[in-house]
Amino acid sequence: MEARRLSSAGVLHEDRSNVLGVGVSSINLDDAVTTIEGWIAERSRNYVCVTGVHGVMESRSDQRLRDVYKEADMVTPDGMPLVWLLRLFGKRRTERVYGPDLMRKMTAVSSQRGYRQFYYGGVEGVADKLTQVLVNAHPGLEVAGTLCPPHRELTPEEDEAVVSAINAARPDIVWIGLSTPKQEFWMASHLGRIEAPVMIGVGAAFDFLSGTKRQAPRWMQRSGLEWLFRLCSEPRRLWRRYAYIVPAFAILAVGQLMRRAIHPSPNALSGSTERK
């Protein structure tokens, strides 16, 4: 990942706290936006993982995914359980940096600054509908293009065509809506090939902001119950995921807190993880 060394934007993305083996950025929404704008200004190449409990738990059995998170320039705390844990680690100013909220905020900023957007992912037609919704809300928004890949692994020729199309559109931000962990692997494998300063994996944000799927009410989001809303909305697809993830994360998080209390150390107190 030699392209990583092109980046010199700030130190916000270096303030990581160890959450069950994943270094999560101890930030808030304004921090994330400021850092992304810095990358665009310097024309470096970076990727952002918007990560909740699902991503953290997936990484525990997938070394490749752990490596992707380790090399990411920012790993935002996408769920309230991560925010609560980081605050217990002493990172009091940490707030949720939720994919749809980050997308909304950066869209508003982009319409004022002239940053060009590219939407990659979603089922057929969703990215175009997303474009229409966001441009209607922000008439000054520049959308460089959209692409909906097939639900299979691309051939090398198809992948090269995707890279060429994105680069030809000259976006400043490439939004990736492929779900976890597919979008994380895509960003990591395309770092250095995609010329845009920022790639951001936002998963279901394409569906939520386009109106294709309903978002949980704000009170459920703030209470850490968004998983329950999504489970009730898509029980067949999500029940296996949440039947394991929710209780397993709770048990492991309590265990991490107990270990920190019993064996405090400079590293444990900060919860930091080192990056290459």
Q: pLDDT tens digit string along 49-107?
A: 999 999 999 999 999 999 999 999 999 999 999 999 999 999 999 999 999 999 999 99
- Say if 237 falls within a structural domain: no
- From 108-112, 128-132, 139-143, 216-220, the region with the lowest mean pLDDT: 216-220
- Say if 249 falls within a structural domain: no
Domains held by the chain: number = 1
Contact (CB, 8 A) for 7 and 39 = yes
Structure tokens at 154: 């691309």
Contact (CB, 8 A) for 144 and 118 = yes
pLDDT for res 66: 96
Supply the mean pLDDT for the chain: 88
Q: Residue 14 carries which DSSP code?
A: G
Domain that holds residue 195: 2-206
Q: Band of the pLDDT at 14, cuts 50, 70, 90?
A: low
CA distances from 51 to 123, 125, 158, 204, 233 (A): 21, 25, 28, 12, 21
Rounded to an integer, the average pLDDT of 217-241 is 80
CATH (domain of 193): 3.40.50.2300
Give the Cα separation of 66 and 247 in Å (integer): 21
Q: Band of the pLDDT at 265, cuts 50, 70, 90?
A: low
- Say if 211 falls within a structural domain: no
For residue 111, pLDDT beyond 70: yes
Rounded to an integer, the average pLDDT of 158-162 is 97
Structure tokens at 67: 């490596």
For residue 166, pLDDT beyond 80: yes
Contact (CB, 8 A) for 60 and 255 = no
